[in-house]
Structure 1
Amino acid sequence: MITKSNRPHLKAISTSTLLNYLFAFILFTSIFGCKVLEKKNQKSATIIKVKNPIATLRDNETISIPYKLLQKEFPSAIIAFIQLIDNKSHKTIVSQPIDNNEDGITDAFLFQTDLEPNETKYFSVNLSQNIPDSSSVFAKFISKPEGLGDFCWENDYIGYRMYGQARADAQGTGTAIDVWCKKTDRKLTDDWYTAGQSYHIDKGYGADHYASGKNQGCGGSGILHKDSIYYSKPYSSWKIIANGPVRLVFELKFSGWKIDNTYLRETKRITLDAGQYLNRIESTYEVTDKNFSFSHAIGIAQRSDSKVIIDKKNNLSESWEKLTIPAGSENGSLGCAFIADPKTNVKNITSRNNHLFGIMTAKSEKSIIYYTGAAWSEFGNIQSFENWNTYIQNKKECINHQCTVTILK
C-alpha cells in the first residue's frame, strides 16, 4: 500500500519543459496528419463528373453528392479534409458536408459551379488541410429588444425575414415573408439590427424597402378551406440545421390554426443557397382530423402598379413592383416569384384580394415543395421585369431537369 511516507516522489516539471513537450506533440501530429493525407493522395484521385442535361446556362449551381458514394474512399473521420478542384480552371472550390436529418451522419456533400448549356465538367476529390470556408449564407434568430423575435436569413444576393411573436404583439405583423434589399455581398443582418438606426434607410449597402403586409409578402402562406384563407400566428419555434458556407437550412414551426374543430400545425423547412434568389420551401402539416380537406396557399402581395405574369402551364407566377419605402422615396423595383416543384400538385394559380396565389394540394404529413424569392433592380444583373422573367423561366427548367452526377475512379 502506498502511504504518505513511501509514495513515489514526483519531480516538478518546469513550464518551459511542458511547453517543449506540447510543441513536440503538435509537431508530431501535424507531420503525421500530413503524411496520412499525402499517402491518401498518392492514389489516383476520385473524379466527379457533372452533366448539365439542358440547353440552359446554370450560374452558381449547387451540386449535391450523396455521401454514401464517397464514403468508401473518404470515411467520416477525414470528411473535414475533403478538397474539390475544378479540373478545367484548376481552382479549389468551397464545399460543405451536410447532415439533413440531424442524425450525426453526413448525408450529402455540396459544392457550386457554373455550367454552360449541355456542358460536362470534371472535378477531382483530394485531401488537404487547407480547405476554403468563406461563407455566403447566414441565418439568425434576432431576440428582443432589437429584433422582436424576427428570424432572418440572407446570402450574397438578397435577404429575408419572418416576423416573431413579439413583433406581432407590438406591431400587428403576421406570417408574411419580408425582403431585405442588399447592395453588397457581405453579411448585413447584424448591421440592420444595430440599436438606434432605422433599417428602412439605405446607408449605402441596402435597406428594408419592401412593404410585406401582414400575411403574404413575398411567399408567405396560409390554409385555403371552403374558399376562405386562414393564417397562423407567427412561428412558435425555430431550429438552424445548416449555416453555410454553401447552403443554409432552418425550420420554423407554426401552431396557430383551429378550423371546424380541427387543429393544424405546420413545419416550414427553408433552404437558401449562395448565389441564388429563390428559397426552396418544404411545408409539412400535422392535422388532428385526417379527413379534413384543405389546400396550401402561398401568396405574393400586389400593388396598383405591379406587373404580373401567371403561367399556369409551368406552375409559376411573377410580379414586378416599384419600391417606395420610406414613403415618397424611389428605391428601384423588386421582382417576386413562385415556382411549384414538379412533384407538387398545383390546383390553381390565381389573383384575389390584391395577391397572387399558388394553391397546392395538402395532406397531413405529406411534404409540399415550392420556391419563392425576390431580386432587387439596384444590385446584380436583374434590372428589369424582362430580366426577372428570363431568370424565373430558366430557373424552372433547372428545377425540372437536375444535373446528373457520376463518380469516376
Structure 2
Amino acid sequence: MRFLFLILALSFKLSYAQQPPLVITVQNQSDLLRENEIVEISWSKILARCPKIDTANFKVLNAATDAEIPYQLEMQGHPVRQLLLQVSLAPKEVLKLNIVAGKPKPITPKTYGRYVPERKDDFAWENDKVAFRLYGKALEGTPDDAQGLDIWAKRTEKLIVNKWYKSGDYHTDHGDGLDYYAVGMTLGAGDIAPFADGKIVYPKHYRQYQVLDNGPLRSSFMLDFDAVNVAGKMVRLRKKYTLDAGSRLNKVEVSLLENEDQKQEMVVGLVTVKQPGGKKYMNAKEGISYYWQKTDPKNGTIGVAALVARSFEKVFESEGQILNKLTLASQKPIVYYNGGVWDKQGEIKTEQEWLNYLRDFKQKLTKPLKVKLK
C-alpha cells in the first residue's frame, strides 16, 4: 500500500511538472513607474487553469529573464484566496511571467505584525518603510493612555518591532529610528471614530484581534471594539488593516458589527495640536488630507495622511485635528488609507514630495495594474 501511494504521488508531481507553464501578463496602463508594487491574482482562477498546481512547489519567473518574482499566498484566515506578486514596471510596460514547477527561493519578510502583551496589549505592525501601533485594553486609565494611531519613525528596511519592544528603548534613535510621534487623546496619524453632536466619540481600545496574514509581502489583521454609546445608539466597530511591502499607507476597512440597518457619521483624524506650526493640506474633493509637521531640530519631520479612492464628504478642523468625514452604513464598510513618512528615512524629504507620493498613490488606485492569465 505504501509503495502504491509513493507511485501515485510521484506520478502526480511528474504530470504537474510536465504541464506547460501558466502565463501571467501584467500591464502598466499608467504613466507612472510602478516600483515593487503588489499585484493580486485570484487563486481560484489559477486553479481553473492549473488544477494540479502544488502550493509548496512552484515558482514565478520573468519570462524574458528567468528571474524569480517574489510571491505570497494570501489566506485571509481561510484556504488560499490570492497569489500576491511583487513586481516593478516602467510606464506602459507589459511584463510576462511564467508559473512553473520548482522550489522557490526563500523571501526575506518585508511585513510583520503582532499582539504585544508585554507592552499593555499594543498591536504593532510594520513593513520595510514604516511602522505603526494601536493601543490595547491594558493601557486604559493609565498615565500613558492614548487613543489613536501611532507611527514610528524608522529608517531601515529591516523589521524592527520585536527589536524595539525587546530593548524598551525606542524613544531614542540608535541608528534605525525612534518613536517620537505624539498621539495623546486624539486620532493620531489617521485613526477613525464616530462623530456626533460636533464631537469625536472615542471608543475604548480594541478588545479582540485576529491576524489574517503575516508576510512576507503583506500583513493583515482585524481588531474588534466594544460597543460605544453614540448619541443614544450603540455603535460597535471592526477595523481591518492591510499593509503591503513598499507602501507607506495602510488600507483600512471599517465595518459595523451590528446587523440592523444603521448609519453612522465617522471622522478620520490627523492630529495637529501635538506638533503645532506644521503645514496642512485639506482637499475633500481630491480625497487627500495631510499634515506635514514643523521640523524638530533633533528628530526631523513626520508627515501623516488620510486618503480615499474618491472623495471625503467634508474636511474641517476641530479638537486640534484635521477631520475627514465619511458615513459608515451596515453591510457597507468604509475603505480608506492612512500612514506617514519620516524625512530622515531619506526617500521623501519635503512636503511637496509627500503630496506627490499621495497623488501617485491615488492614481495607482484608480489605474491598477492589469492582470491576465493564459
TM over 0.5: yes
Matched, 1:115 2:89: yes
2:114 to 137, 140, 145: 140
8 Å contact from structure 1 (residues 58, 115) kept in 2: yes
The alignment-based identity, stated in percent, is 25
8 Å contact from structure 1 (residues 315, 349) kept in 2: no
Structure 1 residue 259, shift from structure 2 partner: 2.4
Deviations 1:251-297 (A, max 9, x none): 01111411233111100000000111000000001347635x53121
- With over 3 angstroms needed to count, the CA separation of the structure-2 counterparts of 1:250 and 1:401, relative to structure 1, is same
The residue type equivalent to 1:407 in the other structure is: L
Q: Secondary structure at the match of 2:56?
A: helix
Structure 1 residue 352, shift from structure 2 partner: 2.2
1:232 to 181, 203, 207: 203
Matched, 1:42 2:18: yes
Q: Secondary structure at the match of 2:239?
A: strand
**TM-score in terms of structure 1 length:** 0.84
Instruction: Output the aligned Cα RMSD.
Output: 2.4
Q: Aligned residue for 2:99?
A: 125
Give the alignment of 1:3-402 within 5 angstroms.
37=13, 39-75=15-51, 78-100=54-76, 102=77, 104-144=78-118, 147-194=119-166, 197-287=168-258, 290=261, 293-302=263-272, 303-322=275-294, 324=296, 330-342=298-310, 346-402=312-368
d(CA) in 1 for partners of 2:317, 2:166: 38
Gap runs ≥5 in structure 2: none
d(CA) in 2 for partners of 1:125, 1:233: 47
Deviations 1:55-109 (A, max 9, x none): 1122221100011111034447712222111224431122111122x3x321111
- With over 3 angstroms needed to count, the CA separation of the structure-2 counterparts of 1:98 and 1:75, relative to structure 1, is farther
The residue type equivalent to 1:108 in the other structure is: Q
- With over 3 angstroms needed to count, the CA separation of the structure-2 counterparts of 1:355 and 1:72, relative to structure 1, is same
Structure 1 residue 35, shift from structure 2 partner: 7.4
- With over 3 angstroms needed to count, the CA separation of the structure-2 counterparts of 1:349 and 1:128, relative to structure 1, is same
8 Å contact from structure 2 (residues 25, 373) kept in 1: yes
Structure 1 residue 117, shift from structure 2 partner: 1.5
Structure 1 residue 154, shift from structure 2 partner: 0.4
Structure 1 residue 311, shift from structure 2 partner: 2.1
**TM-score in terms of structure 2 length:** 0.92
8 Å contact from structure 1 (residues 282, 369) kept in 2: yes
d(CA) in 1 for partners of 2:169, 2:34: 37
Q: Secondary structure at the match of 2:348?
A: coil
The residue type equivalent to 2:83 in the other structure is: F
The residue type equivalent to 2:282 in the other structure is: I
- With over 3 angstroms needed to count, the CA separation of the structure-2 counterparts of 1:154 and 1:183, relative to structure 1, is same
Structure 1 residue 395, shift from structure 2 partner: 0.3
Q: Secondary structure at the match of 2:329?
A: coil
Q: Aligned residue for 1:406?
A: 372
Deviations 1:20-42 (A, max 9, x none): xxxxx9xx97x997875565343
The residue type equivalent to 2:137 in the other structure is: Q
Q: Aligned residue for 1:20?
A: none
d(CA) in 1 for partners of 2:104, 2:8: 16
The residue type equivalent to 1:363 in the other structure is: A
- With over 3 angstroms needed to count, the CA separation of the structure-2 counterparts of 1:380 and 1:79, relative to structure 1, is farther
How many residues in Structure 1 have an aligned counterpart in Structure 2? 370
- With over 3 angstroms needed to count, the CA separation of the structure-2 counterparts of 1:33 and 1:390, relative to structure 1, is farther
The residue type equivalent to 2:317 in the other structure is: S
Q: Secondary structure at the match of 2:140?
A: helix
d(CA) in 1 for partners of 2:161, 2:186: 22
Structure 1 residue 229, shift from structure 2 partner: 1.6
- With over 3 angstroms needed to count, the CA separation of the structure-2 counterparts of 1:174 and 1:130, relative to structure 1, is same
d(CA) in 2 for partners of 1:210, 1:255: 27
Gap runs ≥5 in structure 1: 1-24
8 Å contact from structure 1 (residues 217, 300) kept in 2: yes
d(CA) in 1 for partners of 2:101, 2:185: 49
Q: Secondary structure at the match of 1:71?
A: helix
Structure 1 residue 369, shift from structure 2 partner: 0.1
Q: Secondary structure at the match of 2:236?
A: strand
- With over 3 angstroms needed to count, the CA separation of the structure-2 counterparts of 1:152 and 1:177, relative to structure 1, is same
Deviations 1:192-251 (A, max 9, x none): 1125x4210111111102112223110111111232221100101111000011100100
- With over 3 angstroms needed to count, the CA separation of the structure-2 counterparts of 1:383 and 1:260, relative to structure 1, is closer
The residue type equivalent to 2:344 in the other structure is: E
